[in-house]
Structure 1
Amino acid sequence: MNRARPRGVLNMTSAGYAFVQTAEGEFFIPASKVHDAFDGDVVEVSRLSSSERGSYAQAGPDRPAARVVRVVLRAHESIVGRYEVAEPFGIVVPEDPRIKHDIFTLRADAPHVQHGDIVRVRMTVYPNRREPAQGVVEEVLGHVGDAGMDVELIVARHKLETKFSPKVLEDVAHAAVGEAEALSSGDYRDIRNRVVFTIDPADAKDFDDALSFDKVGGYLRLGVHIADVSHYVPWNSPTDLEARRRSTSVYLVDRVVPMLPEVLSNDVCSLRPREPRRAMTVDLYLTETFSVHHVDAYPSIIESCARLDYDTVQECFDRVAGGERPAAVSMLQDVCKDPESVLVRLLGLKRVSVGLHERRLKRGGLDFDGVEAKVRLDDEGRPVGVDIRKTTQATSLVEEAMIAANEAVARLLRDGAIPSIYRVHEPPATGDLSALIPILQEFGYDSDVSMSRFAAGDPFAIQKVIAKAKGRLEEPLVSTLVVRAMTQARYVDACEPHFGLGSEAYTHFTSPIRRYPDLVVHRMLKVKLFGRTETTSAEEAALATIAAHASEMERKAETAARESQELKLFELLEEHIGEEFDGLVSGVTASGFFVRLDDTSEGFVSLRRAQEYFILDPERYTLTGSDSGVVYRLGARVRIRVRDVYPFERKADFDLVARLSSATLPKYKG
């Protein structure tokens, strides 16, 4: 009997090669072995023979090279692309660079479609050895160059739902806070006398979490107040079914594709200042050493006194640290009635966040200082600059409070034996971490960190690597490589550890406006507080399915958001063709290396035209000149000239100008 071949979803890269995660592990598929499969297809794979494997840097002991034997299930019924007239055909070139097959249509079937139109084509024949991909134009979405069309393509490709059905809009049309009704029910506590405020990015549109801080009975009381979305979205209502399907809001470069209608997300559920709102409150009573003594969770009526943003809060902290407390108070006068009271609580929250963070690190939690590039657009959707967002005391304040609340709710549900959805994160695979050791040795990290403990996934060894990288030129690279070696957090219907946070119980409770699992957790918390309802059994039966779907939709949303940012990054880079910048070598292949600029955009430097042959060391990720001995390695600083940029493909070609021992040019800021 022939052994069944491994199966899994094909994850294509824009470079043409792919990966397939199967029950037998992950396989690397060279570009020449993908054959007629599309990104997202369920495929059957077969390992390559030893003579076929070659020297693939992406393959390894834990990621053997393989070929696609056949497509088991197609992922794409329709594809979005650019229409090109080639009588008697209309050829649709897929907008997604991961789909390498053009689709042939007949001009006679759609004579109204113009050259350059962006269309949606329904597949009728998938490519095979005998014939090309074929389809029928179903819809004209727009024309290349139309304002906003570039992001519309991303929306269309990922099949994001941008409109709510009339039934859903009717369902929420009369939603109201109803604070008097809430308080008369006896289930809600009136805590409008407490000093509560929101802290968000300056451009935030919805506010689903608020904070408070007080000293009560010898304890530090950290209050986390989350919009009570579950009150407005009952199980199996039209709004609930739509939110369950969408599962998450999607934050694109120029818009938000919301999970819930605007009347909820931006109005009734949004914790606006000086307006009463229903909330789910979690009060954590902390000791002076920041351990949780006890937790009190309940529905509440709150009233935020101020809408603060990260930049303002951070500037307040900076002024206080510089001995300018009156100036910090003055900064808050325009946004709240009692600025001194708010400042006192901000400083208290800052102290709590530092203490919680230190406790989290002591138990093995990891601390990545992420760098996020956010492109600024003008009114026409054209990129005008890039803001690099980094971790600050203000962002850490909110993050630590949310982590603490999420853990507290997870423990309440776990210890109360209430079925729910949890956020889990498995330890990284030993092979993925081992692959980083030669790179870390290149940077000399093995002198301070036990590489064996690092490879074994010891969180404290991983912490040491992250800490050693801080402030060094290679910090973004090392941080990125370690993050990529981590497994992806996901939703499940069982309480399991979260490796990255060093937590034994963790869930998502703090963002029910934009994440469906949080909405489920709110319902389950109410079961814990008030008992089961007539829908509880049905909700429990659906938890596993909801968790799996939410994990899948989260990945789709993250991909779409990243692609939209990258698209505008490359549009901005296109304006700098011919200019020189410093960058960091972020990846190597047999034919050249990738360079990451300071705004996070990347381009490729080809060495095919070099006067010598370069030898790839796939373990140390180095390229060595056969004659000169010159070495290009990850983390090296180089000077490049921008040669070509392809925004729709999110790619750029760079020419190498010089190797650098240190940055000498002004950093590219976009």
Structure 2
Amino acid sequence: MGKGNKRNVRRKPKANPRGVLVARPGGFGFVQTAEGEYFIPATATAGAFDGDLVEVVPLQRKGASKGRPHAEGEGAAAARVVRVIDRAHDTVVGRYEVAEPFGVVVPADPRIPYDVFTMRAEAPEVPDGALVRVRLTQYPTRKSAACGAVEEVLAEVADAPAAGIDVIVGRYKLETVFSEGALADAAAAQLDAEGALAAGYRDLRERFTFTIDPADARDFDDALSLDFCEDENLWRLGVHIADVSHYVPWNSSVDLDARRRATSVYLADRVIPMLPAALSDDLCSLMPDCDRRTMTADLYLNDAGELVRSQLYPALIRSKARLTYQQVDDILIDYKEAIAAGGQLAWRLVECARLGKLREEARTRAGAIDFATTEAKVVLDAQGRPVDIAVRRATPATRLVEQAMILANETVAAFLEARRFPCLYRVHEAPASDALGSLVPLFREYPWFAAGMEARLVAGDATVIQEILAATEGRSEGEMVSSLLLRAMKRAVYRPENLGHYGLASEAYCHFTSPIRRYPDLVVHRMLRAALTRRPEKFDQEVAALPWIAEHASDMERVADDAARASQQLKMIEYLQDYVGQRFSAVVSGVASFGLYVRLDCTAEGLLPVGALGDEYFAFDPVRYTLRGEETGRVYRLGQRVAVTLKTADPASSTLEFSLAGSPSW
């Protein structure tokens, strides 16, 4: 073919791989892309921080050998960062060091290996050694340092006992100080019991109500009551929720503060409340022997636990008992003796537990999915030092309260939905079919995965997920299966439109039961009050804001959850410092080319580097979540039990590192 017949086609350059940089202490990191996982040497990060979305170019690694012991990054293709597409950090928390004319901020997070330079003259009042949050004005490059401006002093001393949690507060940008207007609003609030009754609140102060909360709770925003209505042969379960909306009107100073925070944050050593203490710990808290305003849901159930009818209204209550979960569990264990001793409490708890169990069974039949999860909380002494790790699991007491709250939330959502009234719904969409479908190749390896399950699983049939969880309970792969299914679920969010709740098998669901600590619950209370009485003057303004509030509250919930988890992990690591060198039983909770993430029974999680698995090359299978030794054929998989030895516990980097128990260190 002659030259004249050749087509002069300009080829489009191939796009470089993209992914999020997961940095490790030491400056290097890993980037998971659609093309695979890449190891990023410390010299090739191009100023990128942990969590940044980056573009990378693969490198030709020199001297990599599958027969040699693993170094960091061995087994993953190497690459260098050529561009930061999206920054995950606009602020950094660190120790402030005076170095005239600069104030140098040394990041507290060792995964950020760049000091940030500020001008000392711009913040001369910041003391040397303070813990600060600095806003970045210039990111580091090969030719210039990171620069910024001090935004907030978090602590006068960066190495104080509580400094680790202070770092987390700064990293997640949690508000810790209320505005003067919010404090003034809270201080001026008054109960005015007579005014409440005159305004139409029902007087329920003679009804036997009680609260059930953790032993260390300070705000009690929900109370229960139970009575038998002989004329109707029905149980009247009362769910009484603190009437926060009465004290926090729309667009008041205290409302604006609460709206920004959107949620209380429960850290390991402190609570950052959504509302000032004058409200959250006092006037809105349903303390025993105190008159309190509530929004009440009376739920009328037959003896089979079926909801027959309901009533929603504002009320005035006076709690008769403040109970802890442990106290309730103790009563339910020895309930015959407790009932024989007389009193009004024991039989009510027994019946509440029975009705709750019936509700739970009915919910399961409807398709609700219950993932058995374990929650751990670090026990601290008066100085904030960790002294123990308490592992919490569901008990009859927690289930009793949970089922009552779920039913109240469903009832309020259904009430507003039936009237086509504005509401902020709690929405949980069905998992994506591709997320569930990706589990099929792995599940096919097990005998319990029957032929008919595949299509139902991909379709998101909740009953087949229940069947899989039941079939694998107690089996060696049970924890892996439960973990993978949970990861495939979408996260529940807030929406102004009702899309149902997949996990609870609810056609309509909202959050109504915790207005002291969740802003969406406060919004729902306002909507319910408007539906029951009349729309307030600025009601249309609040309705117009529902989409923004829903998105913001969903975002802040994620921030609060991440901060709480980080604080617990930090204190667990501090606690485990005394156990370095000791052997533990652990479960593989994550698999990557560079090693295994393992979780101890106390829920603390750390890394078992691939180099500690043996003197051979381990191939990573991202479909089956395994590492397989090419010489020995040894396989490590998600959910597998392994014996490990704690090698290091570093609170500064919030990391744990393990080795295989009894194995040599490579």
User: What TM-score comes out, normalization by structure 1 length?
Assistant: 0.85
Measured against aligned partners, the alpha-carbon deviations of 1:440-462 in whole angstroms (never above 9, x if no partner) come to 45565425982332233211111
Distance 2:307 2:175 in 1: 41
Distance 1:222 1:651 in 2: 47
> How far off its partner does 1:595 sit?
1.7
1:549 and 2:552 matched? yes
Q: How many residues align?
A: 622
AA paired with 2:337? P
AA paired with 1:258? P
Bigger radius of gyration among the two? 2
Measured against aligned partners, the alpha-carbon deviations of 1:37-93 in whole angstroms (never above 9, x if no partner) come to 55677x6x77999x99xxxxxxxxxxxx99885546x56443212357899976534
Of 149, 163, 175, 1:149 maps to 163
Of 203, 206, 215, 1:190 maps to 203
Distance 1:182 1:108 in 2: 56
CA 1:318–1:592: 2 relative to 1, 3 Å: same
- The answer for the alignment partner of 2:253 in structure 1 is 238
CA 1:319–1:280: 2 relative to 1, 3 Å: same
1:482 and 2:495 matched? no
Is the CA contact 2:23–2:51 (under 8 Å) kept in the aligned structure 1? no
1:290-309 maps to which residues of 2 (within 5 A)? 290-309=305-324
- The answer for the alignment partner of 1:619 in structure 2 is 623
Is the CA contact 2:107–2:113 (under 8 Å) kept in the aligned structure 1? yes
Measured against aligned partners, the alpha-carbon deviations of 1:458-485 in whole angstroms (never above 9, x if no partner) come to 1111112222343445544433332222
> How far off its partner does 1:135 sit?
2.7
Measured against aligned partners, the alpha-carbon deviations of 1:515-544 in whole angstroms (never above 9, x if no partner) come to 011001001001111122211111111111
More displaced 10-residue stretch of structure 1: 221-230 or 280-289: 280-289
CA 1:104–1:164: 2 relative to 1, 3 Å: closer
CA 1:411–1:182: 2 relative to 1, 3 Å: same
> How far off its partner does 1:120 sit?
2.6
Is the CA contact 1:449–1:461 (under 8 Å) kept in the aligned structure 2? no
1:511 and 2:514 matched? yes
Q: Secondary structure at the match of 2:611?
A: coil
- The answer for the alignment partner of 1:365 in structure 2 is 368
1:326 and 2:341 matched? no
Q: Secondary structure at the match of 1:204?
A: coil
- The answer for the alignment partner of 2:188 in structure 1 is 174
Is the CA contact 1:439–1:634 (under 8 Å) kept in the aligned structure 2? no
> How far off its partner does 1:638 sit?
1.6
CA 1:17–1:644: 2 relative to 1, 3 Å: same
CA 1:96–1:407: 2 relative to 1, 3 Å: farther
Measured against aligned partners, the alpha-carbon deviations of 1:268-294 in whole angstroms (never above 9, x if no partner) come to 110011111110001111233322221
Is the CA contact 2:111–2:653 (under 8 Å) kept in the aligned structure 1? no
1:565 and 2:568 matched? yes
Distance 1:518 1:29 in 2: 42
Identity of aligned residues (%): 48
AA paired with 1:297? L
Is the CA contact 1:621–1:633 (under 8 Å) kept in the aligned structure 2? yes
Distance 2:498 2:291 in 1: 34
CA 1:343–1:28: 2 relative to 1, 3 Å: farther
Of 81, 104, 107, 2:94 maps to 81
- The answer for the alignment partner of 2:435 in structure 1 is 432
More displaced 10-residue stretch of structure 1: 493-502 or 282-291: 282-291
- The answer for the alignment partner of 1:634 in structure 2 is 638
More displaced 10-residue stretch of structure 1: 296-305 or 478-487: 478-487
Q: Secondary structure at the match of 2:567?
A: helix
Is the CA contact 2:22–2:51 (under 8 Å) kept in the aligned structure 1? no
> How far off its partner does 1:297 sit?
0.2
Distance 1:66 1:215 in 2: 70
1:496 and 2:529 matched? no
> How far off its partner does 1:362 sit?
1.2
- The answer for the alignment partner of 1:648 in structure 2 is 652
Q: Secondary structure at the match of 2:620?
A: strand
Distance 1:223 1:509 in 2: 14
Q: Secondary structure at the match of 1:575?
A: helix
Distance 1:600 1:117 in 2: 32
Q: Which has the higher contact order (CA 8 A, sep 6+)?
A: 2
Unmatched 5+ stretches in structure 1? 21-25, 53-64, 331-338, 660-670
Measured against aligned partners, the alpha-carbon deviations of 1:538-564 in whole angstroms (never above 9, x if no partner) come to 111111111111011111111111100
Q: Secondary structure at the match of 2:228?
A: strand
Is the CA contact 1:209–1:227 (under 8 Å) kept in the aligned structure 2? yes
> How far off its partner does 1:587 sit?
1.7
Is the CA contact 2:449–2:468 (under 8 Å) kept in the aligned structure 1? no
Distance 2:194 2:557 in 1: 37
Distance 2:119 2:543 in 1: 50
Is the CA contact 2:428–2:500 (under 8 Å) kept in the aligned structure 1? yes
1:223 and 2:235 matched? no
CA 1:394–1:35: 2 relative to 1, 3 Å: farther
Distance 1:570 1:439 in 2: 33
CA 1:234–1:88: 2 relative to 1, 3 Å: closer
> How far off its partner does 1:574 sit?
1.2
Is the CA contact 2:426–2:492 (under 8 Å) kept in the aligned structure 1? yes
Measured against aligned partners, the alpha-carbon deviations of 1:567-609 in whole angstroms (never above 9, x if no partner) come to 0001111111111111112222223212211111122222326
Of 531, 535, 539, 2:538 maps to 535
1:260-339 maps to which residues of 2 (within 5 A)? 260-320=275-335, 325-327=336-338
CA 1:592–1:85: 2 relative to 1, 3 Å: farther
More displaced 10-residue stretch of structure 1: 93-102 or 515-524: 93-102
CA 1:445–1:404: 2 relative to 1, 3 Å: same
1:39-118 maps to which residues of 2 (within 5 A)? 70-71=84-85, 76-83=89-96, 92-96=105-109, 99=112, 101-105=114-118, 117-118=130-131
> How far off its partner does 1:145 sit?
3.0
CA 1:86–1:534: 2 relative to 1, 3 Å: closer
AA paired with 2:642? V
Q: Secondary structure at the match of 2:289?
A: coil
More displaced 10-residue stretch of structure 1: 196-205 or 213-222: 213-222
Distance 1:251 1:647 in 2: 19
1:341-490 maps to which residues of 2 (within 5 A)? 341-441=344-444, 444-447=447-450, 450-490=453-493
Unmatched 5+ stretches in structure 2? 1-10, 62-78
More displaced 10-residue stretch of structure 1: 126-135 or 157-166: 126-135
Distance 1:363 1:48 in 2: 50
> How far off its partner does 1:242 sit?
0.8
CA 1:29–1:249: 2 relative to 1, 3 Å: farther
CA 1:184–1:84: 2 relative to 1, 3 Å: closer
CA 1:604–1:115: 2 relative to 1, 3 Å: farther
AA paired with 1:403? I
1:255 and 2:258 matched? no
CA 1:160–1:30: 2 relative to 1, 3 Å: farther
Measured against aligned partners, the alpha-carbon deviations of 1:261-319 in whole angstroms (never above 9, x if no partner) come to 11111111100111111100011112333222211000001111100111111111112
